[in-house]
Structure 1
Amino acid sequence: MTLNADETTMQMEEAPSYAQSIPVPNVQEMVKKEPLQVPQRYVRSQEEMNKTIDLSHLSSEIPVIDFSLLSCGNKEELLKLDTACKDWGFFQLVNHGVPKEVLQRMKDSAAEFFELPIEEKNKVAMPSNDIQGYGQAYVVSNDQTLDWSDALIDIIEAYSSEVKRVGVELLSSLSMIMGMQKHELLDMHKELVQGFRVNYYPPCSSPDQVLGLSPHSDASTITVLMQDDDVSGLEIRHKGGWVPVNPIPDALVVNVGDVIEIWSNGRYKSIEHRAVTNKNKGRFSYASFLDPRDDVEVEPLDHMVDDQRPKIYRRVRYGDYLRQSMNMKMNGKAHVDVAKIN
């Protein structure tokens, strides 16, 4: 199905299946009926919430990359990209050229959808054998602690065309800092596949007890995320704690995915991230996952392997790897470990 930024209509579209997810209660409706109640199935242990190490002061150190300089091949900006991917796995992208009206219409379309009555939203609910549509993904067992969010997962067109333009240029820059020609990384994908997920995190009366999204890394090549400008929620794991990625107006957040980690033989790492909730305000996020085609075989590139950096990962078929990760509950980087040698 498609969430079209040029229209405020929902359209069904043929798309490959990925994984199953057990149906669970709708969080948005639950909050409407019982705003002060947090069912036990959503409550996390204090250890899981990991509030012992406060690294919020490091938020301002998350790298900011100027896309206009990067796309011109500016050496200093390429060096900043290399450092960002090695040391953080995340960066904020400014001057990316996506028109403000496109960003806003994407936000408006999502807001309109989530304001619909539950009966209307359920018309595009996830089917029993897939995770495309409206619902909550990665629910693989009936005793699993649930995330405090509702998601719409699609393959999209209008907003994604701008994200794809940005993504292609980022892949060209990544190809260069990985010691290849600009076109090589994109060519290795055979086709640049895009997946899209809109998350809505309703307000929670006890935000210190729940997570909007469990800690995980992305199975993508890279992920491009648009955040709300006025409410924080994304946190990334860094030096044993969690660092909030505070929104920069109109910036896009980019993170390294598992595919880049494998191709680079661990030089660049996909970083665990999570979403926390807010007591007084709901929050949206819009994640575009850029992936290779299913039949692409992913393994460390030859020039990324030497005596000092022995091969860490085995060869995996990307479609198999992606579906395996989607059939597991979100649990840090457990699915990446499956691809490791020994």
Structure 2
Amino acid sequence: MSSKSTNPLELGRSLSVPNVQELAQSDQISERYFRPEVDVAPVASIDEDELPVIDLMKLLNPELIDKDELFRLGLACKEWGFFQLINHGIPEEVIEKTKDDIKKFFKLPLKEKEAIKQLPGHIEGYGQIFVHSEEQKLDWADVLILNIQPSQNRDMRFWPTNPTTFRDTLDTYAIKIGKVVDCLYGLMAEDLGVDPQDMLNIFRDQMQSVRINYYPPCKQAKKVLGLSPHSDGIALTVLLQANDVNGLQIKKNDKWLLVKSKPNALIINIGDMMEILTNGKYKSIEHRAIINMEEERLSIATFHLPSIDVLLRPFPELVNSDGELYKTISAKEYTREYFAGKLNGKNALESMKLRK
């Protein structure tokens, strides 16, 4: 982990696109943002199932250890690929400070935000991602993408200095999120019947990055998408909603289900790499972000994956008579292939299947 060649964000490229926050102030919306597929798949009714809620305190406190809660965690990972985590131990003041600094950054003048914009052909910094042609449809969002861990991968040119507390706030938040994720890996190993040391070995040199999202309101919200349907190309994602506007939808039973975020809960989802490592036992799930007509939405997604030199192959305990379901591939090569295409459902993972 000693050189910047281990930086996964250097494996991606993206074209420059207009600033959406500025476009939102205009009545004119480019055709590139209109998404005819938005209303194709049905949306689940408000009475249908809600995302599972897992209580981390019940899983970690020796006086409260609840085997039923571990079963619920496993069920959420296998059948949903998403869950909300409560009682996660991150102090409320850390959560609130993170939300506050994110809001303050996106309120800065465009010129100040663009001082840390992405460089041509790169994805770290302020801009957009997964844009590979001048013709493809665009997401109604601006993003700030940063490497967090290992620390030598940080390119401080892209870390905001305004608000003045932003860097320290993000560092504190990311460290605490990393500790939560480490706990989840151990619990997942227990649920799966995998040797915890094997899980630890996979993620010993864990890599961490963030995508901070700003979704402006749009008068034609039903015609645009904030984030195209996709599964995450990493092992585990932790999402914190930074204001009270919901917009995350997950695909379940061929319907889009709106996630109603609980206050200060963390939304956890399984990524493609974890699906490969568990031989399909845990599922990475297609999800997207919709837009609100009147209000902005902000969130921060923290991504976790093994060192990019790690080979992705199932834990032996999880290979049954059907054998391995996916090709063996390094985290580096999977990341490269994932970044090479536009966001499009689970296409990247589908291409890894040994039997279609």
Per-residue deviation, 1:184: 2.7
Give the C-alpha shift of residue 94 in structure 1: 0.3
> Aligned pair in 2 of structure 1 residues 134, 315: CA closer, same or farther (>3 Å)?
same
Q: Which residue of 2 aligns with 1:267?
A: 281
Q: In 1, are the aligned partners of 2:140 and 2:226 still within 8 Å (CA)? A: yes
**Contact 2:207 2:306 survives alignment (8 Å):** yes
Cα offset for 1:202?
Answer: 0.2
Pick aligned residue for 1:39 from 30, 45, 51:
30
Letter in 2 for 1:130: H
Q: Secondary structure in 1 aligned to 2:35?
A: coil
Name the structure 2 match of 1:330: 343
Point out the more displaced range, 16-25 or 76-85. Answer: 16-25
Q: Whole-Å Cα distance in 2 between the matches of residues 103 and 195 of structure 1?
A: 17
Structure having the larger proportion of residues in helix: 2
Residue identity in the other structure for 1:65: I
Give the corresponding residue for 1:11. Answer: none
* Closer/same/farther in 2, CA of residues 320 and 127 from structure 1, 3 Å limit: same
C-alpha displacement of 1:185: 1.2
**1:55 is aligned to 2:44:** yes
- Aligned counterpart in structure 1 of residue 234 of structure 2, from 220, 233, 246: 220
Distance 2:279 2:97 in 1: 39
Report percent identity of matched pairs: 40
Number of matched pairs: 324
- Post-superposition Cα deviations, 1:241-269, rounded to whole Å, max 9, x if no partner, equal 10011110010000011111001111111
Match of 1:83 in 2: 75
Amino acid at match of 2:101: S
State the 1:95 CA deviation: 0.4
Determine if contact 2:215/2:296 at 8 Å carries over to the other structure: yes
User: Is the 2:194–2:315 contact (alpha carbons within 8 Å) kept by the matching residues of 1?
Assistant: no
CA distance in 2, matches of 1:289, 1:230: 22
Supply the distance in 2 between the matched residues of 1:160 and 1:180 (Cα, whole angstroms): 27
Following superposition of structure 1 onto structure 2, how do residues 1-342 of structure 1 map, counting pairs within 5 Å?
17-32=10-25, 34=26, 36-45=27-36, 48-57=37-46, 60-72=49-61, 73-156=65-148, 157-307=171-321, 309-342=322-355
1:57 is paired with a residue of what secondary structure? coil
1:19: how far off? 0.8
Alpha-carbon spacing, 1:294–1:330, altered in 2? closer, same or farther (3 Å): same
Please, what TM-score do these two structures have when normalized by structure 2? 0.88
Unaligned stretches of 5+ residues in structure 1:
1-13
Q: Is the 8 A contact 2:23 2:29 kept in 1?
A: no
Q: What SS is found at the alignment partner of 2:126?
A: strand
Q: CA deviation at 1:59?
A: 5.9
Q: Deviations over 1:176-225 (max 9, x none)?
A: 11212334312212311111010000000011100000000001111000
Q: 2:117, 2:126 within 8 Å by CA — same for their partners in 1? A: yes
Q: CA offset at residue 93 of structure 1?
A: 0.3
Say which is worse superposed, 89-98 or 309-318, in terms of deviation. 309-318
Inter-partner Cα distance in structure 1 for 2:243 and 2:21: 21
The Cα of 1:52 is off from its aligned counterpart by 5.0
Hey, what's the Cα distance between the residues in 1 that align with 2:206 and 2:58?
A: 23
Between the aligned partners of 2:258 and 2:71, the Cα distance in structure 1 is 24
